Amino acid sequence: MCGSNSEPSKGNDKDGVESSDALPAAVTNSLSALLPLLGITSDASVELAPVSGVGENSYGQVLRASWPGSDTALIVKMAPKNVARRAHMRVIDFYEREVFMYDRVFQAYRAMGAHFSVPPTLHASDLKAPNEFLIFEDLSQQGYVQNERSNMPTYDLVVSAIEALAHLHGCSFALQAKQPEVFHQLVSQLGDNLFTQDIGPVTIEFGKQQVRHTRRMLQEDIRMDTAEPNVHNMVELLQQCENHFKALALDCVNGAGQAPYAVICHGDFWNNNILYKHDALSGRAVHAKLIDFQMSRYAPPVLDLVHYLYTCTEKQLRDAHFSDFLRTYYNALRIYIEGFGLTMERIYPQSIFEQQLREFGIYGFIMAAFAMPFFISEASEIVDIDAVSEAIQDLSATAHDDHLEGQIKNDSGHKDISKCRKLVEEHEMLTERTLPIFKRRMTDIVRDLVKYNMLQPLLKLNNN
């Protein structure tokens, strides 16, 4: 439904790979060509093991390739094959975006003289549909590991992640200042590939449904007389968020509207797209690297920040350290920017940073609406993305036929919103187990939006 890499899938088994014989020939050939370049001399066949399990990655299958007798391993990411899923999730666009980031954007950072080591090395890629693939270095061999999705990030993990994000954003700001023509050429090719004017109505309806769930849970608190004092205002603001969900999202991702205080963002900055290295003695995270740049976009830098802090951390941690996390990001960003001989106050003033947090903090809630049902679900509770995509395809075909007959007339001109809502409801993921978790996490985000004065867009709508 949501075209985010954070959306898990139960459809991966259909694309399962058990041996090198099952790999597409292009992948096998690329792996073979890389062996001598990486000093791998093993004559044995490649051994494959899944890296992302069921419920971890909807944009393909991720495998670790290794060879007996060699210490070297590689990571292979391959696109899903289901036709409906590929169309609904714009798989081609997402793979093209990641290759563009590596071949053009990251190369521009390094050509500028930046010591840029945020992502893993991309060794090979092929964008020929429907067998798109990418081959990366295996960061686990350098001691980097993922924080399990079921484990909420601790303070040290958050700090390491935010520092890596500041490095990524700092290079973007520096490129804009030092080589503006190169920068503008790059961002002209970075149109958003999730929140677009033609985003699927089912995707929007899925997000709106989660806002609706949150609002109704707060209304139930009012009915049961267990609500906090300002909950009526929160309910009204959530109604505005639901009514204007698409417009709010489109406004948030409008990088040009915030220029020159916009950067090439990660775009899908959440737990599973961050790998950590830990101190051997203390066990605390000391460094992080970022992966999966399939949704990178030109947008206000705070989008990545609020996306992560609101979807991936609990309120208890935010209550204790939210201001610390913001300072960590801004101070780390200052170090990278000043390292290029630039002045932070000119490139990204503190006042602009704080204003963007107020204006675009709502984006953290928007992304939570899309992602939270997946984040809190077990593998057995997650919908089959292939099946959902096929249902969406059937619905789109029906809507198109009805439109040709002049039967559908609504604000979009040709989309039957009631049918979209019905489809979303039929694939409801929240269960008796996850509903209380969903309520706590989502209502806590709303409370923090109030606490940190991040409801400006909704207040403007309310006043109008």
Amino acid occupying residue 375: F
Q: Report how far residue 373's alpha carbon sits from residue 361's, in angstroms, rounded to the nearest whole number.
A: 20
- Residue 301's contacts (CB-CB under 8 Å, 6 or more residues apart) are 169, 261, 262, 263, 265, 333, 348, 356
> Pseudo-torsion of CA 305, 310, 314, 319, nearest 10°?
70
Residues with Cβ within 8 Å of 345's Cβ and at least 6 positions away in sequence, in order, are none
Distance CA 434, CA 430 (A): 6
Question: CA angle at residue 453 from 452 to 457, to 5 degrees?
Answer: 135
Helices (H), 253-301: none
- Please give the chain's pLDDT, 464 residues, in tens: 554 443 333 333 444 445 555 789 999 999 999 999 988 887 778 999 999 654 456 678 999 999 988 889 999 999 999 999 999 889 999 999 999 999 999 999 999 987 899 999 999 999 999 999 999 999 999 999 999 988 999 999 999 999 999 999 999 999 999 999 999 999 999 999 999 999 999 999 999 999 999 999 999 988 888 878 889 999 999 999 999 999 999 999 999 999 999 999 999 999 999 999 999 999 999 999 999 999 999 999 999 999 999 999 999 999 999 999 999 999 999 999 999 999 999 999 999 999 999 999 999 999 999 999 999 998 888 888 888 888 888 877 655 444 434 444 444 444 468 889 888 888 889 999 999 999 999 999 999 999 999 998 988 887 76
Query: Comparing C-alpha atoms, which of 271, 355, 268, 288 is closest to residue 59?
Result: 268
List of domains in the chain: 145-385+417-463 (3.90.1200)
- With CA atoms as reference, report the closest residue to 359 among 225, 229, 222, 262: 262
The CA-based dihedral angle spanning residues 427, 428, 429, 432, taken in that order and rounded to the nearest 10 degrees: -140
- Retrieve residue 204's tokens: 């929007």
| pLDDT tens-digit map of 79-130 | 999 999 999 889 999 999 999 999 999 999 999 987 899 999 999 999 999 9
What's the farthest any 2 CA atoms get from each other in the chain?
71
Q: Which DSSP helix (H) or strand (E) runs through 136?
A: strand 133-137
Q: Would you call the peptide bond into 68 cis, given omega within 30 degrees of 0 as the criterion?
A: no
End-to-end CA distance of the chain: 31
User: How many of the other CB atoms lie within 10 Å of CB of 361?
Assistant: 25
SS3 413: coil
* Structure-token match 């060509």, residue found: 33
For 174-200, how does the pLDDT look when each residue is reduced to its tens digit (9 = 90+)? 999 999 999 999 999 999 999 999 999
pTM over 0.85: yes
